């Protein structure tokens, strides 16, 4: 079952603009991660935010997490054509004992036009 749900499903912007994607989830989590997938490089981990963190930055990426609303957002600043990809949020939760499991959403397809 899908835990995270991204919004919007698709987003088209011009190069240089900012892109914001949102993720909502249903159950309590240990952390939330964002991944990027394109045909060239496959599925790649971008950033992880722990459940006790509210905001995290990595280069042009900014992630926020609101556990009270069970939601997260990914902001990509000064977008480039190379940022064109599908972006997935994935929630990590304990699946029993010391095991942890990632559950992915359906993704947001971002198109950055030159």
Sites of contact with another protein (CB under 8 A) = 2, 4, 30-31, 42-45, 48, 50, 88, 90, 92, 94-96, 98-107
| Residue 6 near residue 89 (C-beta atoms within 8 A) | yes
Which C-beta is closer to another protein: that of 32 or that of 112?
Answer: 32
DSSP assignment of 44-60, as one string?
EEEEEEETT-SEEEETT
Using CA atoms, how far apart are residues 4 and 23, in angstroms rounded to an integer? 6
Give whichever of 10 and 81 is closer to another protein, judged by the CB atom: 10
Q: Closest distance between another protein and the C-beta of residue 1, in Å?
A: 8
Do residues 38 and 111 make contact, with C-beta atoms less than 8 angstroms apart? no
* Shortest Cβ 14–another protein spacing (Å): 25
Is the Cβ of residue 44 or residue 82 nearer to another protein in the bound state? 44
């Amino acid at each position: 079952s899908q835990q995270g749900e991204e919004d919007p499903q698709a987003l088209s912007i011009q190069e240089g603009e900012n892109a914001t994607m949102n993720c909502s989830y249903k159950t309590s989590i240990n952390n939330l991660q964002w991944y990027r997938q394109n045909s060239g490089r496959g599925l790649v981990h971008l950033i992880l935010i722990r459940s006790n963190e509210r905001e995290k930055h990595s280069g042009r990426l900014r992630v926020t997490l609101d556990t009270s609303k069970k939601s997260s957002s990914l902001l990509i600043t000064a977008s480039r054509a190379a940022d064109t990809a599908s972006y997935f949020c994935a929630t990590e939760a304990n699946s029993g004992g010391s095991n942890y499991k990632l559950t992915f959403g359906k993704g947001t397809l971002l198109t950055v036009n030159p």
